[in-house]
Amino acid sequence: MDYNKLAQLLFPNLTTTPEDVVKRYPPRQLPEGAKVTRIAPSPTGFMHLGNLFSAITGERLAHQSGGVYFLRIEDTDLKRAVEGGVETIINVFHRFGLNFDEGATIDGDKGDYGPYRQRQRAEIYQAYARKLVLEGRAYPCFCTEEDLTAMRETQQEQKLNFGYYGQWAKCSQLSLEEIEENLKAGKPYVIRFRSNGDPEKRLLHHDLVKGDIELPENDQDIVILKSDGIPTYHFAHVIDDHFMGTTHVVRGEEWLATLNIHLQLFQTLGWKAPKYVHTAQLMKMDGGSKRKLSKRKDPELALDYYHAEGYPVESVLEYLMTLLNSNFEEWRLANPTAPMGDFQFTTAKMSNSGSLFDIDKLKDVSKNTVSVMTADQVYSQVTAWAQLYDQQLYTLLTGDQAKAKAIFAIGRGGAKPRKDIAIWKEVREYVAFFYPELYTPATAALYPENITKEDCLAILEQYRSIYSIGDDNSQWFDKLRAMGETMGFAGKPKDYKKNPEQYKGHVGDVSMVIRLAVTGRTNSPDMHDVMEILGEETVQQRLNQAIEIIKAQ
């Protein structure tokens, strides 16, 4: 076969040559050990935990080693691409604080190894497809969908491996004349790689997460350029990661199945393959067994979910880090306030089987994260969230900033901060009793059963006259205790426990009645601080209202 002629027939107008490409992308000059990584999502509009999982890994490996981290947009599959998909990718990664040194940005591409959107690199792939044609390692295939379906059906009947290989690779046997005729007839075609692999032979691969693995050699004549001249993932991955200087390809383990193709392509093109980091699938427990997180069944797979529910970004990152590196939790215990970037991330500590994703555990992590934020941080994150998802809350919080910050300051800053809030969606409920618009008084039924109606009323009525705004925390409590004692309640719970028959209850019961009257709840942050924020008038008004409710019982 005259491959020169074939190449001329297939790429009559292509001017870019492999030499041009080599010149355009000189090897990166980086210090020894610096890693170059990328995240390469497709603009499908759906960003999921798996994307973030790989993205964090890549970011850590690059930036920890003084290397380069870039964003590439894999938009070769038009069927899956959606309008605005690229913006979604950029915005979501930005939200999670992943800083790219190069790649696609909202205002175009930045960096010397672009373009970073695959459709804009078409002639680069074509130049290498042409090179393979010239070497007899690629050929045009005119098979239609129907031809391929018929082939698959026969293979199924004969219980053979599926695919375009060996004798099944019909178009690999076409003569130049036949090809020319097809081209003249205007038949659409793809370019396939001519594989010389033998699946009986094994390929050894060392994956940085999976360890040493054996793969069968690839014998499929896979498509490298589709009929519109745009490459498939396999071909684009190999060309891009070579020329963009990627040292470590971090991607989901679903790509392990086709790794033999990628290694074969690197070898055929005479290039050194990058190192691979195949991240484990995210699993969840479902009815006692583990399964993969599913787009259809599990809303928590989508990254948008965390935004809408108001998970602080720090919490999600912190939790994912516990899944990514098995020693992270231990490090965190020893370094509770250190920035996450101080942790030495390593592929050696990555799980090589599925990582169990547990949303309750994430919430626990988030409670800790939120508990060590300052009131100002909480205020600014909550209001940013509420502006998008809870307009009423947003208006209330921003309407009196000082009040909102005072609420968030309760129980914060000490050695044992309160852990009431995990996600911003919970804030509405948490602050509700501070705002008349959100407050619901307690019904009579909520008051403790061990305290009679008369005692409840007596507590509230007397308390109205002793409450004085401006008392400090201990004055406030002393007054409450003294009042309880005069009414027959033990001043200390332990005195009550020793001699329960001598008392009506203890000071805790007295404060519970007041808590219910003032907040409508059995559980609230420090009552003294709560009352300071509510103010004298509201406290008195709520005590009166509670008295009315109990009387009407």
Give the shortest CB-53-to-ligand GLU separation in angstroms: 11
Candidates 15-23, 39-47, 359-367, 387-395; binding stretch for ligand GLU (CB under 6 A) = 39-47
Query: What is the rounded CA–CA span in Å between residue 469 and residue 534?
Result: 10
Among residues 74 and 309, whose Cβ is nearest to ligand GLU?
74
Candidates 40-48, 189-197, 283-291, 486-494; binding stretch for ligand GLU (CB under 6 A) = 40-48
What character string, x for contact with ligand GLU (CB under 6 A) and - otherwise, covers 131-150? --------------------
Among residues 70 and 128, whose Cβ is nearest to ligand GLU?
70
Among residues 40 and 459, whose Cβ is nearest to ligand GLU?
40
CA 322 to chain CA mean position, Å: 13
Candidates 34-42, 109-117, 188-196, 528-536; binding stretch for ligand GLU (CB under 6 A) = 34-42
Collapse the DSSP code of 311 into the 3-class scheme (helix H, G, I; strand E, B; otherwise coil) and give the result: coil
Collapse the DSSP code of 492 into the 3-class scheme (helix H, G, I; strand E, B; otherwise coil) and give the result: coil
Closest CA relative to residue 442, chosen from 527, 316, 550: 550
Give the shortest CB-237-to-ligand GLU separation in angstroms: 5
Among residues 122 and 507, whose Cβ is nearest to ligand GLU?
122
Closest CA relative to residue 251, chosen from 53, 531, 101, 68: 53
Measured between its terminal Cα atoms, the distance across the chain in Å is 99
Among residues 292 and 405, whose Cβ is nearest to ligand GLU?
292
Give the shortest CB-247-to-ligand GLU separation in angstroms: 14
Answer yes or no: are the C-beta atoms of 240 and 103 closer than 8 Å.
no
Q: Specify the length of the chain in residues.
A: 553
List, in order, residues 6 or more apart from 369 with CB less than 8 Å away.
312, 314, 315, 318
- 41 forms part of the interface with ligand GLU (CB under 6 A): yes
Answer yes or no: are the C-beta atoms of 231 and 125 closer than 8 Å.
yes
Among residues 239 and 516, whose Cβ is nearest to ligand GLU?
239
Beta carbons within 10 angstroms of residue 232's beta carbon:
19
Among residues 51 and 383, whose Cβ is nearest to ligand GLU?
51
Instruction: List binders of ligand GLU among 516-545 (CB under 6 A).
Output: none
Among residues 251 and 307, whose Cβ is nearest to ligand GLU?
251
Query: What is the rounded CA–CA span in Å between residue 51 and residue 34?
Result: 23
Q: Are strands 68-71 and 138-141 parallel, antiparallel or unpaired?
A: unpaired
Among residues 249 and 397, whose Cβ is nearest to ligand GLU?
249
What character string, x for contact with ligand GLU (CB under 6 A) and - otherwise, covers 241-270? --------x-x---x---------------
CA 496 to chain CA mean position, Å: 51
Q: Can you tell me which of 60, 205, 210, 237 binds ligand GLU, judged by CB under 6 A? A: 237
Give the shortest CB-77-to-ligand GLU separation in angstroms: 9
Closest CA relative to residue 513, chosen from 542, 534, 541: 542
Give the shortest CB-222-to-ligand GLU separation in angstroms: 15
Give the shortest CB-54-to-ligand GLU separation in angstroms: 7
Give the shortest CB-118-to-ligand GLU separation in angstroms: 9
Beta carbons within 10 angstroms of residue 459's beta carbon:
27
Among residues 40 and 230, whose Cβ is nearest to ligand GLU?
40
Among residues 253 and 390, whose Cβ is nearest to ligand GLU?
253
Give the shortest CB-39-to-ligand GLU separation in angstroms: 7
Strands across the sheet containing 223-225: 138-141, 190-193, 223-225
The site for ligand GLU, by CB under 6 A, has a size of 8
Give the shortest CB-70-to-ligand GLU separation in angstroms: 12
Among residues 248 and 515, whose Cβ is nearest to ligand GLU?
248
Among residues 39 and 527, whose Cβ is nearest to ligand GLU?
39
Closest CA relative to residue 454, chosen from 462, 466, 443: 462
Instruction: List binders of ligand GLU among 72-131 (CB under 6 A).
Output: 74
**Strand pairing partners for 212?**
206
Give the shortest CB-36-to-ligand GLU separation in angstroms: 13
Query: What is the rounded CA–CA span in Å between residue 109 and residue 117?
Result: 8
Q: And the tokens for 249?
A: 């390809």
Give the shortest CB-50-to-ligand GLU separation in angstroms: 8
CA dihedral 419, 422, 428, 430 (to 10 degrees): -20
Q: At what angle do helices 536-551 and 507-519 cross, to 10 degrees?
A: 100
CA angle at residue 462 from 456 to 468, to 5 degrees? 125
Q: Are strands 289-292 and 282-286 parallel, antiparallel or unpaired?
A: antiparallel
Closest CA relative to residue 43, chosen from 6, 99, 81: 81
Give the shortest CB-72-to-ligand GLU separation in angstroms: 8
Candidates 13-21, 22-30, 37-45, 220-228; binding stretch for ligand GLU (CB under 6 A) = 37-45
Q: Are strands 223-225 and 190-193 parallel, antiparallel or unpaired?
A: antiparallel
Q: At what angle do helices 259-269 and 233-243 cross, to 10 degrees?
A: 50
Among residues 44 and 541, whose Cβ is nearest to ligand GLU?
44
Query: What is the rounded CA–CA span in Å between residue 7 and residue 2?
Result: 9
- Provide φ and ψ at 169, rounded to 5°: -80, 75
Give the shortest CB-250-to-ligand GLU separation in angstroms: 7
What character string, x for contact with ligand GLU (CB under 6 A) and - otherwise, covers 56-75? ------------------x-
Give the shortest CB-40-to-ligand GLU separation in angstroms: 4
Name the site residues for ligand GLU (rule: CB under 6 A): 40-42, 74, 237, 249, 251, 255
